[in-house]
Amino acid sequence: MAHKLFGTDGIRGKANEEPMTAETALRVAMAAGHRFTRGDHRHLVIIGKDTRLSNYMLEPAMQSGFTAMGMDVVLVGPMPTPAVAMLTRSLRADLGVMISASHNLYQDNGIKLFGPDGYKLSDEVEGEIEALVERELLDHMSDADNLGRARRLEDAPGRYIEFVKYTFPRGLRLDGLKVVVDCANGAAYKVAPRVFHELGADVIPMAIDPDGKNINRDCGATSPQALQQQVVAHGAHLGVALDGDADRVILCDEHGRIVDGDQVMAVIARSWHKAGRLQGGRVVATVMSNLGLERYLQSIGLELERARVGDRYVLERMQAGGYNLGGEQSGHIILSDYSTTGDGLIAALQVLAAQVAAGGDMSELTHVFDPYPQLLRNVPAKGSAAMEDATVQSAVSAAEAKLGNDGRVLIRPSGTEPVIRVMAEGLDEQVVNAVVDEIAGAITDASAA
């Protein structure tokens, strides 16, 4: 079915506008509570959030919806998305909720749901919940004797910190390493600096003063410029930039050079492959990952399998093939030996573990391959009809011929914006720029016709 509420990563929109209103949040909670009521045990839901102002509105609305359906609620406060997934499993909850719009600015918000296994819900289950949102659920509400209760889990940060530290190899420490940690004024502002500190690093924290409106503003994984400057200024060995809900990470080396998700996957793949830990001889990435990553993996005897954009689709491929490493160029790195979703902190620690074990500079470790020139452009368009236009198809065919075997073209409609994304990559940057111009122009003309 075509979802009206759920997109590629839960529900998302402008705060206090549909679907991010208190009323809709209440209805989503009631619908999800009804869907996940099973058996006669006391049902439990975990609710986490990031630091957005609108969470003061959405969190109590969802709490009310769940308790009205007879579910007990455990509130964990500002916590990373992967922490909510972990706690959902750890506490044997029936459902987990993260209220966050990830890397977006504070004006937006979103709702992500996790099943009792700690995994994001499938399209099918989201469709069932969406259908229930449209129904009148008064007949399914709890009676007065069986309403749910709510409580706070005061030791939630400590539980997650210990969980993350457990993923760092025994016998290794971060003593002597200076690490700048940009918390994006988001969900990890308390836990992230403590993780690195407790493992022995000299930590320089950034963006740890959330005020409800400064999440992701000029900081974090999508704006790492300040991190780059601080790494160089402090003579740090590594910079770690998380996004608002800390499920993605972007690194920078001691020179302030960005290390994106493709390079992170390459570092971990090489390290795990040498140690015999990489399952299936493959890494799962999306159609957006650089050709340089694919060619590098082939050079060390590994394969790259591509999925649709979205970490949930990466995870589906990983589960289907029995692989334990996947991710996105944007920094969602999924290490299924440890987590059911992307976890920026765990990914950063795996890179640091490789560096501690190998020695040398971070720049040497993380510059694994030379990326192919790649250009992505968002072309305004309503829907995807322009992609089927004969002129657009002709422009794509011509572009593929120009790029040859050492390049590729990808056009796809955005799942969150009224644009068509045009991406090309190849050996010659000028050719890449030219073919993107040609395809974008054809889409613009087709959309105007």
Catalytic residues: 102
Handedness of CA 161, 162, 164, 169 (dihedral sign): positive
How far apart CA 138 and CA 120 sit, in angstroms, is: 27
Backbone angles phi, psi at 131, to 5 degrees: -65, -40
CA proximity to 258, closest of 377, 102, 362, 103: 362
Residue 209 tokens, joined:
């003063």
Backbone angles phi, psi at 23, to 5 degrees: -65, -45
Residue 217 tokens, joined:
């503003």
Separation of CA 160 from chain center: 17
Prior bond of 413 cis (ω within 30°): no
What is the secondary structure of 39-88 as a DSSP string? SSSPPEEEEEE-S-TTHHHHHHHHHHHHHHTT-EEEEEEE--HHHHHHHH
| Cβ-proximal residues to 357 (8 Å cutoff; 6+ apart), any chain | 169, 172, 271
How far apart CA 196 and CA 395 sit, in angstroms, is: 49
User: Count of H helices and E strands in the chain?
Assistant: 14, 19
Q: How many CA atoms lie within 13 A of 408 on its CB side?
A: 10
